[in-house]
Structure 1
């Protein structure tokens, strides 16, 4: 009987802590960020290397890993379809990209942005287009950085939940934990 009472008390205490957490912070997990990116990612860009080539790039299938491979950072992986026009004629390639960024909360917009975006790794198919992609990489990196500086990775929806409304009104920053972004509320 004593063990049952202790178990019930422990469950009640855990419930209270979880309830308090909702009043002190708003937590977003990787799946919520991934869902938002799938619905709102619109990266599509025409990139030119003057006198060499033009490339149309469409970024798809973005997935985040929060604070796992590098503390305080978000790593995105995704695919890109690339249509290239050059002196060699039209070609197309598929890329697998890995990007790294610093998540930042913009209280005024109620949004999380991925700043200082950097293309850290990629592979290209067919491999014969590796040299062409090497020439495009600096332009692609600059374009991705500009895009994610302006386009949020997540926007709080105060109509969705009370804790999202509290986060938008009372947020005092952003903490990166393994697998989650935490928006603590101000006092």
Structure 2
């Protein structure tokens, strides 16, 4: 069974087999987690992303898909890039966000990764409510068969950490979270 761990901090500082990047479809870096991973990981990541664009992903990586590159200067072996969906408001389809987690775990299994760090995919610039992201991420990881031994959710701020903590508590203990909705 996969162990779920929560960390408040910087995903680029994690020592794991694979770090999941909340990438944009270009795979060429950007803001938020994506920019931080490219900056700290160095030019090797960008070089492999450019090679992927020149070969398999000429039009970019589709939403909900995942692909791996080297981790460059990060304390990891690989970066698994996945493109989360942009939030379209109430009623947005959660399946592409679930696919990001499922496909990232599938890539991790193909690589032989046993420890994987995930950010809160789509909760930043892509606008998904962090409570929804936490629920979808935790449930998908729980329901996905994988050889990954530890999934570490690395949350940048207290609000995201609290949302994920509530979901993990619910998973482990059933019932309601001890935190009221929207609490930090």
Question: What is the TM-score of this pair, normalised by structure 1?
Answer: 0.30
| Structure with bigger RCO (C-alpha 8 Å, 6+ apart) | 2
| Higher radius of gyration, 1 or 2 | 1
Indicate the structure with greater strand content: 1
